[in-house]
A = this chain, B = another copy of it.
Amino acid sequence: MAPATVTIASGATWQEVVADRQRHRDATVAEIRPPVPAVRKEDIPLNTTGIPKKLLTEQEVQITNTDVEDLVKKITSGEWSSATVTNAFLRRAGLAQKLTNSITELLPKRALDKAAELDQYLAANKKPIGPLHGVPISVKEHIPIKGEDINAGFVGWVGQVAEEDALIVQYLESAGAVIFARTTQPQTLMQIETDSNLYGITVNPYNTTLSAGGSSGGEGALIGLRGSILGIGTDIGGSIRVPAASNGLFGYKPTSQRLPTAGWVAAMAGAESILAAIGPISTSLEGLRAFSKSIIDQKPWFKQPSLVALDWRDSAQYYPERKLRVGVIYDDGVVRPHPPVLRALNEFVGKLQKSPGVEVVEWKPWKHDLAWSIIAKIYFADGGADVKAAVNSSSEPWRPLAKFILHENPDVTEHTITTLWKAILERDDYRTAYAKLWNENPVDVILSPAGPGVATKHGTGRYWGYTSQWNLLDYPAIIFPTTDAVTDAPREQPYEYPEGYQPLNERDKYVYGLWKEHGAEGFDDEKLFRAAQILLEEAGLPTAVPA
């Protein structure tokens, strides 16, 4: 029988709660058989992505290097059992934990029981149970898993036990998924890095001195290291997209009322003026699609009536012949992207310009600074009282970026109902104006960086504007990786800010300073978040991350 959870309510200090949670996490990793290989801290290199190949079996590497679409085929054809697949991912995820600190717990019993069931089902019925038959899925911690603690990143909340799986988890399991791991998130969930007192900092597998992004950074790092190939994140300002971009992955932030959020646990429950979305991060574009379709095909609006009753439509029907018109944002007019981001963007656009199927035009961002100010004034409509109460429900200290966004953010506003209604009208006016702009300059998709730089140095992720823009507008967004690496080859595009660059404002100055101080510092991938599935197909780009 599992030992009782140590909690603030039971009289423990916050440090004791943290120690217990981490013990619990380590205990779940220690259950894996064969044991997860030991890794000495001092042996971990900056770039950890080569480690799994060295420490796991050849079959484990082969399985975990497979993308969702092929994994389902291999399991349903009988090449690999679901049990074998599940165990391989448990092993790689356990290793990813040691390398990147991205796991809150593994779920070996639940996962292996489910895998055995699936294997029996397949043997008995000669057909898969659903479109995700056997696909292991990792889950951000604040999305409940029955019988597990659910703390949403607050020390004081430790000790709540989920009575049932979150709705999205139920649908994914019905589709055949195997829930096998839970992942880290930052204190308050309102950071674009992943830093909490409960689990510390989640690091980037490509460079451990950099952040894995946030708030779904546990997913980002875990999938970046292929300890998972499909996971669930949530996003109210960039929390799916920043981790996807920071780890060279695919990510999808749907329009807010398409995938079911029911059951998730977070501060500010009941706030609805900016709606958070739930969505997948994966190693392939098809992973995003299969995830979304498998849920929507089950008509989740019958159980979560706020969802739009809209079936998943076949993407192939769109743009059968016509030229795709792509608007490009090179710079949002608030914070200039770092040179490697602009270089990668230019290279990518250069490829598109050679395609007869694509027409590229510039998209002039319209008042993205106003957009940030509007959304930031609505995020914490109670002045942050609920989030502050959650942090202060123990004596855990404030983490720096949580403090930054709540305590050092001049836009945080404690609203009355009257001022909230005014803020909502401002939001709607902005949405209407942006739609008008789009009508006047019709493009099919907008291609934009996901942020001003590559993955951030720990503690420096302060500018969300490139992603929060699309939460304010509630437009869907897909993130995909473009270039493999920053190389030293000479390039036409200068790999620097223009000479004598004068920052536009304090935010731009801060990000410019980061570049001057850190540059891209050994991080192999620049990531730019870009447009919809059709754009990738038209541009003939890879739709999966090289394993």
Contact = CB atoms under 8 A, between A and B. Distances in A.
A424 B303 contact: no
A424 B262 contact: no
A431 B305 contact: yes
A377 to B, nearest CB: 12
Contacts of A432: 262, 303-305
A382 B416 contact: yes
A417 B415 contact: yes
Q: Give the size category of A's interface with B.
A: 35 or more
A144 to B, nearest CB: 15
Contacts of A304: 432, 435
Given A308-B308, A425-B270, A417 B381 contact: yes
Contact of A420 (B270, B302, B383): B270
Nearest to A417: B382
A269 interface: yes
A386 B303 contact: no
Contacts of A308: 308, 310
A426 to B, nearest CB: 9
Interface centre among A273, A417, A425, A436 (most CB of B within 10 A): A417
Interface in A401-421: 414-418, 420-421
A423 B417 CA distance: 13
A415 B420 CA distance: 11
Contacts of A474: 305
A392 to B, nearest CB: 15
11 contacts: A268-B421, A270-B423, A271-B424, A302-B438, A302-B439, A304-B432, A304-B435, A305-B435, A381-B417, A382-B418, A382-B421
Which 7 pairs, one residue from A and one from B, show the smallest C-beta to C-beta distance?
A270-B421, A382-B417, A270-B424, A270-B425, A305-B435, A381-B417, A305-B431
Given A270-B422, A272-B424, A416-B416, 19 more contacts: A262-B432, A268-B421, A270-B424, A271-B424, A302-B435, A302-B438, A303-B436, A303-B439, A304-B435, A305-B431, A305-B432, A305-B434, A306-B428, A383-B417, A385-B418, A386-B418, A386-B421, A414-B417, A416-B417
